[in-house]
Chains A and B, each alone.
Chain A
């Protein structure tokens, strides 16, 4: 285990480093450079002097390698530079937005797991039953429905049946938990829809295999009740594939928040990313993409370590 954990942790750092390099390179793909893009936006005219000043201000006159190491050096200390739009440190704005998105993601994950795991298990225990067919149709439809479509259909339903529109003001969880949950429940449901289908599918196929395992037969033959067999012996093992795929699930959820927050007017990281793209706020875009990628790479590390801890077989792989 120790060796596996060390190996896995050692892989973490080059990955993080490369993630930052990729973001840095992507931001240099802007035709011309950032200053040219900002100044020539719309019909605005600008002087050579303005361009030079802007380049000096954003350190674009320095060599690329120095720009990169300056950026990384500051980023490690939590300073991602000043937003080109808010004219204030990026983290000031992002700091308020990150908890919203994290809450939305976690609520969606909980909805997906709470709903999908029992569905997958029932579906596997009673194959070819009506509930199994219903579950399979739901999962197939679910993984073909893009998240924006689910969100819009939910809004369409709410608007035409209940005259409901997404509320504009946002209430933090610790100030007004009731209002906060009311605001987040529909976005979280829309975000969770795909994952419900995905987790149900993964759980079902895992449980189908586990039912045939020797230890399940042994558990039954020594007279354990059906619920003990299913929950103590079956569920524990059926949750493993859900754990291994949770890295992908979180990646998809974070990606989905961009769309969901825009549709439901939730003031999180996702919505500010889209706003930043329209405002050509490149420092904001750069900071946000790096932070999201850090989240995902870290979650993947934790998942792999947990998996190594829970399933001894992985250590020999």
Chain B
């Protein structure tokens, strides 16, 4: 009797657990809490990334000055000089405000190019694996060739041809991000294609569109999310590098890369001009990489060591 009762109690307990399984916003919060507990450093990286995105969105509300305001205080001031937080540059522009507006460019270019590039790479990878045959062989050779260029060199070639502008930087980034994403997703899609559930779907007469959208894409979703975060840091670095070299974003826009270049020109007069953009770039890239690593470990252990 005792045993029987405890068994029922157990069932009730389980039912209770099932019933209170969180849904909607609660589920998201619960998932975040779980992630924070398992991967605290990666979670911190996510917090920094979120903060950077918020700063980018609300830049005009946060920044004390416009990025282009000349002479808000003296020139070449160190941190704290004349009421500025992080000092001023060679035209007396507020470095703190410029960093905040710089976040707009970095976050916009990084997020947009990664979303387009990885999404396109995923679609091509899945399609290439599904269709197979000559299409697959030719596509893979093309990807081999694209991967034969150091990414920054290919991006420089594209920028030289297209000219400096925000959207052209996005285009250049998409071109250098697609090959890697296609590779990774294709190899995963190839193994999914051979799995029983795909064969079963095909045997009951499912067409290619249904198989690709209902069976293959949902199963590469985890890899997709991991790739997006892991390449975001890389995209931010390449944008900063192009702007630093003066061929990325036009020089009248404040970006972290162009601030670094200005600081390099005046490095003997005011060292802080390179230190702050440097810290911001390193911190954001560091955070995004940690977040990507953590997501990979949690969602897709197979990708480890890639």
Contact = CB atoms under 8 A, between A and B. Distances in A.
A293 B152 CA distance: 12
A31 interface: yes
Contact of A14 (B141, B233, B260, B263): B141
A18 interface: yes
A146 B240 CA distance: 9
A228 interface: no
Interface in B279-306: 281-282, 285-286, 289-290, 305
Interface in A107-155: 140-141, 143-149, 152-153, 155
A144 to B, nearest CB: 4
A30 B233 CA distance: 29
Contacts of B233: 144
A254 B153 contact: yes
A274 interface: yes
A152 B262 CA distance: 11
A259 interface: yes
Contacts of A252: 150
A289 B157 contact: yes
A185 interface: no
Contacts of B278: 149, 152-153
Contact of A277 (B160, B289, B305): B160
Query: At the interface, is chain B mostly helix, strand, loop or mixed?
Result: helix
Given A146-B285, A205-B305, A259-B241, A156 B150 contact: no
B183 to A, nearest CB: 13
B247 interface: yes
Contacts, number: 135
A15 interface: yes
Given A144-B285, A262-B245, A277-B160, A15 B271 contact: no
25 contacts: A18-B144, A19-B145, A26-B157, A31-B163, A140-B289, A148-B241, A149-B260, A149-B282, A152-B278, A155-B264, A156-B274, A159-B268, A160-B271, A255-B152, A258-B245, A259-B244, A273-B153, A274-B156, A278-B246, A289-B149, A289-B157, A292-B153, A293-B149, A296-B148, A300-B148
Nearest 3 pairs of A and B residues by beta carbon: A255-B150, A18-B145, A255-B152
Given A144-B285, A274-B245, 16 more contacts: A15-B145, A19-B148, A26-B157, A27-B157, A27-B161, A28-B161, A143-B289, A149-B281, A155-B264, A205-B305, A273-B156, A276-B160, A277-B160, A285-B160, A293-B148, A300-B148
